[in-house]
Amino acid sequence: MIPAPATRAASYRAELAHPADFEGLRRILRTALALGIPPQLLDWTITGDESLPVRHPPLPPVPDAPTPRVPKQFLELAQLAISHTSPRRFRLLHSLLIRLQVQPRLLEDRSDPEVDDAEQMAKAVSRDRHKMRAFVRFRETSDEAGPHYIAWFEPSHHVLRLDAGFFVRRFASQRWTILTPQVSAHWNRQELEWLPGASRNDAPGEDPVEEIWKTYYASTFNPARLKVKAMESEMPRKYWKNLPEAALIPQLIAQAETRSSGMIAVGTLANVRDEAQACRRCPLWQPATQTVFGEGPEGARLMIVGEQPGDQEDLQGRPFVGPAGQLLDQALAEAGIDRSSAYVTNAVKHFKFQLRGKRRLHEAPNAGEIEACRWWLDRERALVKPGLVLMLGASAGRALMGRAVAVGKERGRPIPLPDGSAGFLTVHPSYLLRLPDEAAKQAEYARFVDDLRAAKAQAGA
């Protein structure tokens, strides 16, 4: 039984360690929910901010306050929304949490003003994260411990804590500090330290590390996808002169404008693969072990696109190495295709599954996940430039053709892709594995090998 506070205060002080203290928020909301304290009775303060007067008693501790039941979507939403600068965010999340206890599907109602408000906050924070990744510019300094890269950035929201992990992964072997007005992050090559906010004058003003940043920029920024107008709104022209990679912009725009596909990939397969490891374009990265990127030679004549990694692929980090992959290998060999000469990848790069006990059961990706992951597939295609893209099954077909496909009807013949390049659709090997009838399995397998032979001829592989 949760003890009710002996006497009800007019308000309670809800203290967070910093403005985006998600763990603190969870602890307080759990307690408030257990005590039945409504949102208007919590007075949110950020400790360390001396300017805030202490007016109310702190929230009484409730040991073992039960964890409220909420959909995972709420945790994701709250983690982003708490990083927004709006002072309304805490009360809003508190109110949503209370309502979710009686309306578990509340978040599906986009017409609900509170849901909409939280979604808008989360979107603004996501945009700000994207800007931080794109615009943070390190400058090289050095001290007795060696090179030290320092960047100054002014985010619109509290995104540094949310995204410091990205910079740690990206620049793990360098010593760096990102200074912002609210808080600064320092990576000493082993651990991340949080330091007070700083001012622009604390950051060095000259000598951007041009080569590192041109490479980084070229591998992360895709101006053609953003289109020139959108690009200007992402990176207003007034900033361009200060950025080391600005020299690349006219060239990238020119390429963007002349490519009929409207898509361009820059960088190398290796750095796109590397970047994909930190992909958060859809929620599938969370339960998955790792991003499973494509593999094979740049310049392969044939690109083979499956659906998504399965259990084995997720663990090993390579496409088509589980049972479907073994069947594919066998069929490729029978069709005279050397797998190592083809580029093998998937429409979706993270394993999507449902947990049943200890088993992870494959779950097909939805259209949104396929669309989110097309970002990587497009870049693989632009770098490999295959003569033919062989699509295995409906998800690959959707990713490449941008529409639902009827595999049974459209398989086995050349299909032009929307950008004019050559495609070819056939069944997915898992389909063959699932066929219950042995005779049908043999016949379908033979058809599959025939399709592979036709694709090989078409690709000139």
356, 349, 282, 283: which is closest to 318 by C-alpha? 349
Residue 96 token pair: 């949503």
Residues between 106 and 145 with contacts to ligand URA, criterion CB under 6 A: none
Query: Which listed range, 64-72, 164-172, 238-246, 308-316, lies at the site for ligand URA (CB under 6 A)?
Result: 308-316
Distances (CA, A) of 384 to 261, 269, 297, 399: 15, 8, 7, 17
How far is residue 161's CA from residue 183's CA, in Å, rounded to a whole number? 9
296 binds ligand URA (CB under 6 A): no
Distances (CA, A) of 298 to 22, 116, 186, 377, 379: 43, 44, 37, 13, 12
Query: Judged by CB under 6 A, which of 223, 267, 306, 365 binds ligand URA?
Result: 306
**Minimum CB–partner distance for residue 309 and ligand URA (Å):** 5
Give 177 or 430: the residue with its C-beta nearer to ligand URA. Answer: 430
310 binds ligand URA (CB under 6 A): yes
**Minimum CB–partner distance for residue 390 and ligand URA (Å):** 12
**Cβ distance 209 to 140 under 8 Å?**
yes
Query: Judged by CB under 6 A, which of 149, 176, 213, 320 binds ligand URA?
Result: 320
309 binds ligand URA (CB under 6 A): yes
Number of residues that bind ligand URA (CB under 6 A): 13
291 binds ligand URA (CB under 6 A): no
How far is residue 180's CA from residue 199's CA, in Å, rounded to a whole number? 7
Residue 26 token pair: 């969870």
Query: Which listed range, 48-56, 143-151, 322-330, 380-388, lies at the site for ligand URA (CB under 6 A)?
Result: 322-330
- Phi first, then psi, for residue 429 (nearest 5°) are -60, -25
Which residues in 104-153 belong to E strands, given as ranges?
138-143, 146-152
**Minimum CB–partner distance for residue 457 and ligand URA (Å):** 23
322 binds ligand URA (CB under 6 A): yes
Query: Which listed range, 16-24, 313-321, 335-343, 416-424, lies at the site for ligand URA (CB under 6 A)?
Result: 313-321
Residue 455 token pair: 């694709």
Query: Judged by CB under 6 A, which of 62, 80, 100, 324 binds ligand URA?
Result: 324
Give 267 or 306: the residue with its C-beta nearer to ligand URA. Answer: 306
**Minimum CB–partner distance for residue 325 and ligand URA (Å):** 6
344, 315, 316: which is closest to 329 by C-alpha? 344
How far is residue 257's CA from residue 196's CA, in Å, rounded to a whole number? 44
Query: Judged by CB under 6 A, which of 24, 155, 267, 319 binds ligand URA?
Result: 319
Helices 438-459 and 323-334: angle between axes, nearest 10 degrees: 60
Give 223 or 296: the residue with its C-beta nearer to ligand URA. Answer: 296
Residue 260 token pair: 């009929």
**Minimum CB–partner distance for residue 98 and ligand URA (Å):** 42
Query: Judged by CB under 6 A, which of 244, 296, 325, 397 binds ligand URA?
Result: 325
Query: Which listed range, 3-11, 235-243, 271-279, 321-329, lies at the site for ligand URA (CB under 6 A)?
Result: 321-329
Instruction: Count Cβ atoms below 10 Å from residue 240 Cβ, excluding itself.
Output: 14
Give 291 or 346: the residue with its C-beta nearer to ligand URA. Answer: 346
Give 117 or 313: the residue with its C-beta nearer to ligand URA. Answer: 313
The contact pattern for ligand URA, residues 401-440, with x = CB under 6 A and - = no contact, is -----------------------------x----------
**Minimum CB–partner distance for residue 288 and ligand URA (Å):** 12
How far is residue 320's CA from residue 329's CA, in Å, rounded to a whole number? 9
Give 28 or 292: the residue with its C-beta nearer to ligand URA. Answer: 292
Give 324 or 459: the residue with its C-beta nearer to ligand URA. Answer: 324
392, 395, 427, 422: which is closest to 408 by C-alpha? 427
**Cβ distance 228 to 257 under 8 Å?**
yes
Q: Give the DSSP letter of residue 244.
A: G
397 binds ligand URA (CB under 6 A): no
Q: Residues 169-179, buried b or exposed e (16+ Cβ, 10 A)?
A: ebbeebbbbbb
Query: Judged by CB under 6 A, which of 31, 222, 346, 426 binds ligand URA?
Result: 346
**Cβ distance 399 to 370 under 8 Å?**
yes
365 binds ligand URA (CB under 6 A): no
Instruction: Count Cβ atoms below 10 Å from residue 57 Cβ, excluding itself.
Output: 14
Residues that bind ligand URA (CB under 6 A): 306-310, 313, 319-320, 322, 324-325, 346, 430
